[in-house]
Structure 1
Amino acid sequence: MNFRGKNLAQAPAPVPVPAPKRFSLKVALWLLDSPRLGDKHSVKHLAGRLLKQPARQGVVVAQSRLGQMLCRDCGNARDRRIGHELLRQAARAGDRRAQLEFGRLCQRSAPEQARYWLELAAAQGSQEAGRLLKQGSLG
């Protein structure tokens, strides 16, 4: 073997590794939607870890579900801030669940913003958003 010379410089470029399939996303959503498993802390923790990478890659449903989990189930302020931002991104992308949840989060601090997001969710068929709008407690 000759380790010096042109042979090393002409080595083929590394083959790019294909992006991971959406398997982890599907597993996470299945775990969260499972009636027997979805409420268990350890299952939520695993699902959150599985949702993390797709959410970072901009997968809207992953952003929405992870954002909801972080806002509802985490006790520290940092995780809630991250969840809030993920929900905002998913809501902007048109996710009805994220629009509803983000609207709920904004009700006390920014009622006009809450109304905006709830109206978008209601326009997409969210009955819960419609109910919250009819209560009239928003700006």
Structure 2
Amino acid sequence: MKSSAPAAPKRFTLKVALWLLDSPRLGHKANVKHLAGRMLKQPAREGVVVAQSRLGQLMCRDCGNARDQRIGQELLRQAARAGDPGAQTALSHLRRS
């Protein structure tokens, strides 16, 4: 019988990362964004669409180097293909600029 225990910490980590980014007091701080980005990395790799979308937006908006921005754009493309409206909007803004 397979246990679902490993999924719970991942889901918790994802929720905490999203909460940090959405927090009016914390979400704009660079160190909080960095922590949230690290927390979103594994779920995004595993194909969790909301993690791909939020990490992609974070990387495109807040990372200065071209490599991170390319990775962020690819994450946004994956999330947009999966139907995430936030990723679709972010991609359209990137294309216009």
TM-score (norm 2): 0.90
Cα drift, residue 86 of structure 1: 0.1
Higher helix share: 2
Structure 2 partner of 1:113 = none
In the alignment, which of 23, 43, 47 is matched to residue 36 of structure 2?
47
Alignment of 1:46-85 (within 5 A): 46-85=35-74
- Distance across 1 between alignment mates of 2:7 and 2:35: 17
Structure 1 partner of 2:88 = 99
Structure 2 partner of 1:37 = 26
Can you list the C-alpha shifts for 1:19-41, whole angstroms capped at 9, x where unaligned? 34201000000000000000000
AA matched with 1:19: P
AA matched with 2:34: H
- Distance across 2 between alignment mates of 1:81 and 1:19: 30
Unaligned runs of 5+ in 1: 1-14, 109-139
Cα drift, residue 106 of structure 1: 1.5
SS of residue matched to 1:61: helix
Percent identity at matched positions?
Answer: 71
> Which is higher, the Rg of structure 1 or of structure 2?
1
Of the structure 1 ranges 15-24 and 65-74, higher mean CA displacement relative to structure 2 is found in 15-24
SS of residue matched to 2:28: coil
Cα drift, residue 18 of structure 1: 4.8
RMSD between aligned alpha carbons?
A: 1.6
AA matched with 1:25: L
TM-score (norm 1): 0.64
User: Aligned residues, how many?
Assistant: 94
- Distance across 1 between alignment mates of 2:90 and 2:63: 15
